[in-house]
Every structure is written in C-alpha cells, then in structure tokens.
Amino acid sequence: MTPFADRLAHTIAATGPMPVARWMTLCNANYYETRDPFGVGGDFTTAPEISQMFGELIGAWFVEMWRRAGSPPNARLVELGPGRGTMMADMLRSTTAAKWTPAVDFVETSPLLRSAQAARVPGAMWHDNLEHVPDDAPLFLVANEFFDALPVRQFERVVSGWRERMVAADDGGFIPALAPSDATALVPPRLAAATVGSVVEASPASTAIAAEIGARLARHGGAALIVDYGYAGPATGDTLQAIRAHAFADPIADPGEADLTAHVDFGALAAAAGVAAFGPVGQGRFLRALGIDARASMLKARATGPQAVAIDAAVARLTGDTAMGTLFKVLALSPDRKPIAGFE
Ligand code: SAH
C-alpha cells in the first residue's frame, strides 16, 4: 500500500465506511497534487493538449461574447481547472488579436499544476475556488474536463428503497459497501422506481459551482462555456471511472493513483445556474460551427506534409463521432436568451 492508501485505510478503520463522494474528493486531491497526468506518457489526453485549434476557437467564441456585452474593459476571463494552462495560452492568442487583454483568473488546487500554468500564462491570478475570484466585473468563464473530476454521490436501488454507496476496508484492501440508512429522499422522484441495482448520481459540489456561476452572470453579465463528457439528466447509471495510463482501472483499487471521474449531468448544471442555458451540443458540432475546418486549412497552408497529416488527425479526434465529437458536449450559460454562436 502507498502511504496515502494506508492513511485512507486508517481513516475508514477509525470512522467507518466513507461515501463515494468523499473517496473521490480525497483520491483526486492526492492524484492532482502529485503529478502532471496529461499526454502520452501520462494517464489521459485532453482536447487542448491535442491541438492549439481547440483553445483558439474557444478564445474566438469568448471574443464574440465579450463584444456582444459591449467590450467591457474590466471583464475577467476565468478558467476552472486549467491543467497545464495550454488552453488559456491558446485562447489568449485569439483575445490579443481582438485587442482584448483580460485579467486572467485560474481556479486550481494543485500546486504542481499551478506552476505549469504560471509558465504558460505568467500574468494569471490563482484561487482555490470560484468564491475567491473577485465578484466585481463581467464574468467570462471556461471549464474543460473540470466538472468530471468533482465528486459524485451515488445511490443504489435496493429492494426496500435507496442506499448511498460507500467505500469500506477489509484486510485485503478497499471494498464497496452501502450505507445503512435509506436515501430515497435524495433521488429524483421520477427515477425512484428504477429496478433493483440501478444507480443514480448527484454532484452537489458541481451544482454549487454552477449556481455561483449563474449568480455572477446575472449580476455582472458575461458568458460561461462548460465542456465535458456527460448527459442531460436526470438519468440512472454508474459512471464513476478510473483512468490510468490511458486505460480503465478499478476506482477503489490503488487510491490516488488514477484519475477518478464521473459523467457530468448538464441538465443539473443548467438548472442550478438558473440563467439561460444553450445545449449541450456535441463538441464536434460546436467546433465545426465555430469554423474548425477553415482554421485547419489555414494552418495546413503553411505546414509541412507530416504537420498537415497531424492537423487532419487532430480535427478527426476532436470532432469525430467515434472520438470526442459526440461523447464530449458543450453547454453555454448566458444572462440572456439571445442566440449564441455554436448553438444555432
Ligand atoms: N482543463 C484542463 C485540465 C483538466 S484535468 C485540460 O483540459 O487539459 C482537471 C483539472 O482540474 C486539473 O487542473 C486539476 O488539478 C483541477 N481540479 C480538480 N479538482 C479541482 C478542484 N476541486 N478545485 C480546483 N481545481 C481542481
């Protein structure tokens, strides 16, 4: 056992089984604190790490939204969970070209990733959570593969009702368990009659952040773009997964050594935000509407043969139906209902 796994086993021995959400919180904090997980040599590859086109197109989308808001000079550009800072660096090329030089705020808990972000976006400010970002100006907020890393509670249908899923420990390691008390009141009524063994997830951590984003948009204006894999719930399904070295792993074996994620419930985020919501639409459709094909042609015009092949491969990966094009989805939040680029 790693020292971290040992500590978890001691915690469970002392205080009893912990809810899956608590397990996810502790494991992911340890995971992101101790490594840069991205890319071929890491555990997973995200869209901004595939191609600069991703961040540039999203940057152009924000330029359009900023202009629509009257080009407010004090606007904040905020990113939740910026990873290596690659996407923001690419976005800033688009904003700079449009003569918008926003204050950049990063919400990031990992000190290791903060230093990677500082190397790419030297002028940024860092915060532990969105509440700490000054609430004084129009908010332009982006989050790519951030919400999937936030903890979910899981409820399992049993014969007598619903129980929260927990993680317990025995001599051999960690094992799944169910809380003794009934949790039917926490399951959406229209799912309550699901068959025995069904799982329903809820992410209070995610909906709290969505509510904060919505409140800020309503107060000061702006726009938010949330990109992730997920569904428009409520729905049943156990989506908790562990990814290690680009393959699925067991979410309760080797705690803190794999990326733990759950699919994002875009319906729940939109409802919690309480402002106008657009989508979710597939990432492929969104990027094509933003002009990824024209952007690729421009890049290819000044590329070598192998570079051109790589650009085509990146477009296919970001937009293809069997790659990221439909599994990944895009949700926009806005203080008003005027149509938005990419969601027509
Ligand atoms: N957006 C980046 C990274 C995605 S990985 C990309 O697309 O490449 C998830 C990111 O969220 C990491 O930067 C991780 O450190 C950060 N993160 C995870 N949980 C967090 C939390 N609770 N608060 C703030 N940041 C968090």
Q: pLDDT tens across 261-314, in order?
A: 999 999 999 999 999 999 999 999 999 999 999 999 999 999 999 999 999 999
| 336 Cβ contact list (under 8 Å, min separation 6) | 276
Tokens representing residue 54 in the block: 């991703």
Strand partners, 178: 165
Amino acid identity for residue 45 in this structure: T
| 321 Cβ contact list (under 8 Å, min separation 6) | 284
pLDDT of the residue at 134: 97
User: Ligand 1 centroid vs 121 CA: distance in angstroms?
Assistant: 16
Cβ(109) to ligand 1 under 6 A?
Answer: yes
Enter the DSSP assignment of 147.
Answer: G
Atom 6 in ligand 1: which residue has the minimum CA distance? 83
CA–CA distance, 185 with 189 (Å, rounded to integer): 8
Nearest to 290 by CA among 87, 42, 61: 61
For 99: left if phi > 0, alpha if psi spans -120 to 50, otherwise beta; the answer is left
Atom of ligand 1 nearest to the CA of 29: 19
CA–CA distance, 242 with 54 (Å, rounded to integer): 25
pTM of the model: 0.97
Atom of ligand 1 nearest to the CA of 38: 8
pLDDT of the residue at 172: 80
Calculate what percentage of the chain has a pLDDT beyond 70: 100
pLDDT of the residue at 169: 95
CA–CA distance, 259 with 261 (Å, rounded to integer): 6
User: Ligand 1 centroid vs 108 CA: distance in angstroms?
Assistant: 6
Cβ–Cβ under 8 Å, residues 232 and 281: no
Q: Which residues of the chain have pLDDT under 70?
A: none
